[in-house]
C-alpha cells in the first residue's frame, strides 16, 4: 500500500518554480529521510503532503486520497507533524501527559471533556516513546529534547498513518540529540508504527530505521533510493558540488564532512 505518491508535481509561486516536476512514491512499509540545504524545498514538500499547500501542476495522492477529490481536514487528521516551531505554542503550565492528550483534539491546550481512559492512553504513549519519567512534570521545566519527545508523543495520540519529523533535533545539544534519536529509533521499532518521514540537514541524524533517502536540491529531487544505494562519496560530492568524505559512526550511522 502506498503512503503517498507525487506524479509530475510542481509548485510555483510568483512565477518562480519552487518544486519542479517531483515524482516520488513512498510505500506504507518504508521510512524516509529527506536531506537538503536551506531553501531546497523540504518544508514545501511537507506542506503539500499535509494539504496546507496545493500543487500548481501534477497529481498528488496521500493515504489513498487524491488531491482535488479529497477532504483535506479529514486527511490532516491522519497525519502527525512535529517541528521545533510547535514547541513555543504549547502551554507552559500543562503537564507532559496533558500536552500529549491535547493531540487527540488537535488543540493548543485542552478545552474538551476527556475521560480517565484517554489520559491513561496519553501516559502510555509517552511511556512507550521513552518518556515515562516525564509524566507529571510541567512542560515549562522540560529540556528542549524532552519537549520534542512530548510533541512526538502528542502527534502519536491520534494514531496517525504518517508521522513527519521536521528537523526535530534542531537546537539540541549533542547529548539531547542522541537521546532523542534513540527514542525515535524506539518508536520505529514498535509494531504497527506509522510511516516515518525525517527531515534534516545532517546525515549523522539519519538512523538505520530510515531505510530510504531522498536528496533534495533547489526544488528538484537530486537522487532517491535506499541508504545503501546513495550513501557514497561520489553521490554526495555531486550533491554538494564539493569534495566530501564519509565517516562511519556508531549504530550504522554515517557522517559527511568536507575533505
- Which pLDDT score is estimated for 242? 94
CATH architecture of 2-258: 3-Layer(aba) Sandwich (3.40)
User: What's the rounded Cα separation, in Å, for the pair 206 and 117?
Assistant: 35
- Which pLDDT score is estimated for 106? 65
The arithmetic mean of pLDDT across residues 134-139, rounded, is: 92
Cβ-Cβ contacts under 8 Å for 107 (sequence gap 6 or more): none
pLDDT, mean over the chain: 89
**CA pseudo-torsion sign 38, 42, 46, 49:** positive
Q: How many CB atoms lie within 10 A of CB 175?
A: 10
CA 69 to each of CA 60, 61, 135: distance values in angstroms, whole numbers, following the listed order: 10, 10, 41
* 170 has a pLDDT exceeding 60: yes
Asked whether the beta carbons of 70 and 48 are under 8 A apart, the reply is no
Could you give phi then psi for residue 15, rounded to 5 degrees?
A: 65, 10
| Residue 136 binned pLDDT confidence (cut-offs 50, 70, 90) | very high
DSSP 8-class letter at 135: T
Q: What is the pLDDT of residues 173-226, one digit of tens each?
A: 889 889 889 989 988 998 888 999 999 999 999 999 999 999 999 999 999 999
CA 35 to each of CA 20, 42, 113, 159, 182: distance values in angstroms, whole numbers, following the listed order: 16, 8, 41, 26, 19
- Which pLDDT score is estimated for 88? 59
| Residue 110 binned pLDDT confidence (cut-offs 50, 70, 90) | low
- CA-based nearest residue to 32, from 188, 228, 170, 210: 210
Cβ-in-10-Å burial (0-12, 13-18, 19+) of 252 comes to: exposed
Find how far residue 136's CA is from the centre of its chain. 26
Grid cell in block for residue 170: 534542531
- Choose from 147-156, 174-183, 240-249 the range with maximum mean pLDDT: 240-249
User: Which residues are 61's β-sheet partners?
Assistant: 5, 66
Q: What is the pLDDT of residues 58-108, one digit of tens each?
A: 999 999 999 988 888 888 888 988 877 665 566 668 889 988 988 887 656
- Which pLDDT score is estimated for 20? 96
Length of the chain, in residues: 259
Does this model's pTM top 0.85? My answer is yes
Give SS3 for 94.
coil
User: What's the rounded Cα separation, in Å, for the pair 198 and 98?
Assistant: 25
Sheet with 195-200, side-by-side order of all strands: 79-83, 162-166, 195-200, 32-35, 212-217, 220-226
Domain range annotation of the chain: 2-258
- Which pLDDT score is estimated for 224? 97
Amino acid at each position: 500500500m502506498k503512503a503517498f505518491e507525487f506524479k509530475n508535481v510542481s509548485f510555483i509561486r510568483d512565477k518562480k518554480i519552487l518544486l519542479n516536476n517531483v515524482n516520488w512514491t513512498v510505500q506504507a512499509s518504508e521510512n524516509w529521510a529527506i536531506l537538503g540545504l536551506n531553501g531546497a524545498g523540504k518544508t514545501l514538500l511537507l506542506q503539500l503532503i499535509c494539504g496546507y499547500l496545493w500543487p500548481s501542476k501534477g497529481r498528488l495522492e496521500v493515504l489513498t486520497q487524491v488531491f482535488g477529490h479529497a477532504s483535506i481536514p479529514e486527511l490532516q487528521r491522519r497525519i502527525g507533524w512535529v517541528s521545533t516551531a510547535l514547541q513555543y505554542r504549547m502551554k507552559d503550565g500543562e503537564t507532559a501527559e496533558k500536552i500529549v492528550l491535547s493531540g487527540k483534539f488537535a488543540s493548543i491546550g485542552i478545552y474538551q471533556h476527556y475521560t480517565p481512559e484517554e489520559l491513561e492512553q496519553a501516559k502510555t504513549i509517552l511511556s512507550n516513546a521513552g518518556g515515562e519519567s516525564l509524566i507529571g512534570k510541567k512542560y515549562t521545566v522540560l529540556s528542549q529534547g524532552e519537549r520534542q519527545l512530548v510533541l512526538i508523543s502528542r502527534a502519536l495520540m491520534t494514531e496517525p498513518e504518517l508521522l513527519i519529523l521536521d528537523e526535530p533535533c534542531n537546537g539540541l545539544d549533542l547529548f539531547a540529540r542522541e537521546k532523542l534519536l534513540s527514542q525515535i529509533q524506539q518508536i520505529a521499532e514498535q509494531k504497527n508504527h506509522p510511516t516515518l518521514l525525517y527531515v534534516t540537514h545532517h546525515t549523522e541524524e539519519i538512523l538505520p530505521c530510515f531505510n530510504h533517502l531522498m536528496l533534495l536540491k533547489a526544488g528538484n529531487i537530486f537522487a532517491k533510493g535506499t541508504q545503501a544505494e546513495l550513501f557514497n562519496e561520489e553521490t554526495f560530492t555531486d550533491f554538494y558540488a564539493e569534495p566530501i568524505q564519509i565517516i562511519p559512526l556508531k549504530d550504522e550511522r554515517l557522517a559527511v564532512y568536507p575533505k
